[in-house]
Copies of this chain bind each other. A is one copy, B any other.
Amino acid sequence: MKKRYVTIEDIAKKTGKSIATVSRVLNRSDKNGVPISIKTKDHVLSAIKELGYIPNYAARTLSQRNSMAIGLIIPDIMQVYFNELCYFISKQAEKNNYNIILSHSYENSTVEAREIEMLISRRVDGIILAPSMGEKNIEYLETIQKQIPLVLIDRYFPSSDNFYSVTSNDIEGMYLLTKHLLKKGAHRIVFISGTSETSVSKERIEGFTRAYNELGVSMEKSKIIRSSYFQEDGFEITKELITSGEIKSFDAIVGINDYVALGIIDALDKYKIKIPDKILIAGYGNNRYLKYFRTPLTTVDQNVEAISKNAYDIFLKMKKSDKIVNHFHRVPVSLVKRASTGD
């Protein structure tokens, strides 16, 4: 297992050529100005095959200072959204032979900083980061961002426009959804909104409010309830609304995401409150497992694929130091109407 790998020197010796020549055929330098005779090329190539030569990226990275690797940092790959992000970014990266080094922050900014440092140690060509909650690392990230292409994804820092970010248009999404409900006459909406620590929650609350304002509906009878992002939150909060009797004063409940919406549905089911007859329900995210779920859920599609592509493209542009038009990229969302809102 302590096997010595075959190096270009080995294959240089074998062919009687110099390591420079070997390196040239390896890098197809002939396609790039430097001519190589067909003979030596073939000779070298066959030696490579024969000896089973596999290049050493560490050496290449060291001398070229680029690694053909991208660091992807997400809070947690078990979350569908990040799972998809990871998938689509990988797919993009493969096209250009970039590899992905996957890191988890677990929503912990200390871990996040550590992982970033590790990625820099590995001299990745860029970092795509779905920032952990809060803004603790913002200063640190501002430093980093001067050294290495960094693109923020999913969440961003409204307080700083030093970063490039690709996020879904959460204001718009929640605005569309809320407007849809209001137009249906459901004016008294409960919005279970997540913590207010993330830009995501903040924006969705903004969209929520905007819809009311634009339609000139008073928000007095609506209610925004802070929560976490789990199914249980939806369940517990709704249960509380039901048992307190408060639920009677509402026409609709919206979850900050589809899981929370599921929790809401569970609670309503438990108390045999019919959806959408008695109350309308909506989620957010258009989770791809939704089709397996019980109640067809009205939700907002974030277009994770487009987000991923955008982020990757920005990374590429940063590498090539192409101009990038704006710092904040917003991917359009779309409202998905289903039975839970009577559609």
Contact = CB atoms under 8 A, between A and B. Distances in A.
Nearest to A52: B143
A103 interface: yes
A17 to B, nearest CB: 22
A182 interface: no
Nearest to A62: B58
A121 B1 contact: no
Within the oligomer, what is the number of copies of this chain? 2
A289 B103 CA distance: 24
B86 A77 contact: yes
Interface string A34-47: 00000000000000
* Residue of A55, A259, A292 most packed against chain B (CB within 10 A): A292
A99 B101 contact: yes
Contacts of A293: 292-294
Contacts of A318: 1
A228 interface: no
A67 B101 CA distance: 13
Interface residues of A, number: 50
Interface in A59-87: 59, 61-62, 67, 69, 76-78, 83-84, 86-87
B289 A57 contact: no
A104 interface: yes
Contact of A69 (B101, B120, B294, B321): B101
Interface of A: 1, 3, 5, 52, 54-59, 61-62, 67, 69, 76-78, 83-84, 86-87, 90-91, 94, 99-104, 117-118, 120-123, 143, 146-149, 231, 259, 262, 289, 292-294, 318, 321
Given A1-B318, A289-B289, 6 more contacts: A54-B121, A55-B121, A58-B123, A59-B62, A78-B84, A86-B102
